[in-house]
Structure 1
Amino acid sequence: MAADESSQWLFTEDEVLSAPSIIDGLSPTEERCRRAKGVNFILQAGIMLKLPQLTLATAAVFFQRFYMRKSMVPEKMGVHHYNIAATALFLATKTEENCRKTKEIVIAVAKVAQKNASLIIDDQSKEYWRWRDSILLYEEVMLELLTFDVVLQSPYTILYDQLQKLRIEYIKPLRNVAWAFLNDSSLTTLCLLMPAKDIAIGAIYFAAKFLNDTIPDDENGNPWWELLGGEPDKIVRAVGILAEFWSDNPLKRTENPYGEAASSGDDLDRTRGRSEGASSMALSSPDAPSMNGVEPKNEQVSTPTKRKNENGEEEGLVEEPASKRQKSEDHSQ
């Protein structure tokens, strides 16, 4: 059974707010910030290693789960979030069978840690051995705390299956925004709060909402989310969690792709296409290409860009947020 189906990795919001780091004195805001920085570390190193997005998402889940069992406060025998980010990435390359040489991973994480992609790192440097020893040490700790439960049910794979079930998998704009929602969700604790299926349904809802599109009801006139087994409360909550995260803006980003993402049951209902036929987006985009038979698990990380925080400091290579990414694509078409 996939780990996402196990209740040991699903928590209430109160339980997330009682994580070991918070018990050890971190404020919920600071703990959330460090989690986001750790996942961002994974994304930057992964882009440097040209790893598929699924592998990076798996690493992010390992990272988030680890800190439900262990503190990130060094003064309280905790482990720094960058050390665990590097270890989670190393472990994910194995479990997702996208292996890279240990040396390549060590060099990548060392460069990200130093915020210098041009940094010269080799196996003769102290920095190299410090990161290598850290990764190998904490890999065993991570496996034990995860109870060797490393087979995940990915929302990316579920997303594409759901789009096929709704017969809208060929609608490129909607598919891209939904995929971007999943990318952004990895920065949050969403994977700790609901199963992968509900996260994927939330991504479809956000995409339809963002594009002001509708999704056809099923042949019996039932809402599209019922066909997928979705629950309105969970769907709205998934988008709300991301909207709250970007409102808090722990990474100090200058853009907020979820600034107008306030959601409600009525808002969800407006994504229903009650008339027969394809969605409005499908009709306006007849030439939208399909995935060409490629499953989401093979999709690569999109082209990264340089992003700066509010202080003007470069944070490294990261993906554009959903809104900006979609506008760029529309402009190029």
Structure 2
Amino acid sequence: MFPGEDRWYFSREEIDNNSPSRRDGIDLTEETRLRKAYCSFLKDLGRRFKLHQATVATAMVFCHRFFLCQSHAKNDKWIIAAVCMFLSAKVESTPVDLKTLIITSEEILHKKVIAAEQRQGVYEHYKGLVSNGEKLVLSTLNFDLSVDLPFDILIQAMKKFILDEATQGKFPSAAWKFVQDSFWTTLCLQYQPRHIAAGAFFLAAMHIKMDVKSHGESWCQHFDITLHQLNGAKWVSSIMGKSVLLPLLEA
């Protein structure tokens, strides 16, 4: 499975049923668990390095893209995730030191502090694996490190539509959480950033009980998305467990 004209966007059926991991006997439930595991690891790495959430999100996208083309059965997810963070930090102009990245990764995985006298040995042990992993990730991604994120789109919409003081206190954190949750899934491989931003916006509005019905059409116009597309986006059910947008909008 390789990106075509639309690069990294595929149907959920393609991702769920035709991944290299599936061909190697890893079922969807297990692959979903593995994806969440490396996302949790990347979140911890980002926290330790005080990286911007865009850097963490880009690393997650790199990982999802990699395992769209490569099998979990044949690759160490921790090495690949560390490499993806290393590359993402470069792309987002927040570079991290390779030695520190390796040491920090080991500390997170083993939940203990590595003594100063052991750090050089740990670095020497893993630097070759990380170097080879970087080559594999770059070749697998076809050196395509361009990632569009939904954050700016969401911010623009909030500035335009969320005007009253009461809503401003609740809406941003809810919308932000929905967007962040999306990166723990393969939604970034299924939907364009503006679709994910739109979904997060509507879900946040519903969460704080805004008048979705009255404003839905103008919101959709801003995101350049139709109500039908919004309701058909399976990522709504992926996060909330059910698709509820269109019935509310059309009530």
Q: Smaller-chain TM-score range?
A: 0.7 to 0.9
1:83 partnered with 2:83: no
**More helix by percentage:** 2
- 2-side partners of 1:19 and 1:169: how far apart? 46
- 1-side partners of 2:56 and 2:225: how far apart? 26
* Partner secondary structure for residue 156 of structure 2: helix
- 2-side partners of 1:65 and 1:71: how far apart? 11
Report what 2:14 is aligned to. Answer: 15
Report what 1:67 is aligned to. Answer: 67
Report what 2:186 is aligned to. Answer: 189
Match for residue 120 of structure 2 among 116, 120, 124: 124
Match for residue 154 of structure 1 among 145, 149, 157: 149
* Partner secondary structure for residue 67 of structure 1: helix
Report matched runs for 1:26-105 at 5 Å: 26-73=26-73, 78-105=74-101
Q: Is 1:205–1:235's contact at 8 Å kept on the other side of the alignment?
A: no
Q: Is 1:62–1:88's contact at 8 Å kept on the other side of the alignment?
A: yes
Q: Is 2:206–2:212's contact at 8 Å kept on the other side of the alignment?
A: no
In structure 2, relative to structure 1, the CA distance for the partners of 1:14 and 1:262 (3 Å cut) is closer
- 1-side partners of 2:227 and 2:24: how far apart? 36
Q: Cα deviations across residues 179-227 of structure 1 (Å, max 9, x unaligned)? A: 1111111111110111111001111011111111235857xx9442223
- 2-side partners of 1:112 and 1:234: how far apart? 40
Query: How far did 1:6 drift?
Result: 5.9
In structure 2, relative to structure 1, the CA distance for the partners of 1:133 and 1:192 (3 Å cut) is same
What's the TM-score, normalizing by structure 1?
A: 0.67
Match for residue 180 of structure 1 among 177, 181, 206: 177
In structure 2, relative to structure 1, the CA distance for the partners of 1:136 and 1:169 (3 Å cut) is farther
- 2-side partners of 1:6 and 1:169: how far apart? 42
Report what 2:138 is aligned to. Answer: 143
- Structure 2, unmatched stretches of 5+, are none
* Partner secondary structure for residue 33 of structure 2: helix
- 1-side partners of 2:75 and 2:105: how far apart? 16
Q: Cα deviations across residues 81-126 of structure 1 (Å, max 9, x unaligned)? A: 111111111110000000121122111111111123x33365422x
Residue identity opposite 1:183 in structure 2: Q
Report matched runs for 1:170-249 at 5 Å: 171-214=168-211, 222-236=217-231, 237-244=234-241
In structure 2, relative to structure 1, the CA distance for the partners of 1:227 and 1:158 (3 Å cut) is closer
In structure 2, relative to structure 1, the CA distance for the partners of 1:10 and 1:98 (3 Å cut) is same
Q: Count residues with an aligned counterpart.
A: 243
Report matched runs for 1:313-328 at 5 Å: none
Report what 2:159 is aligned to. Answer: 164
- What percent of counterpart residues are identical? 27
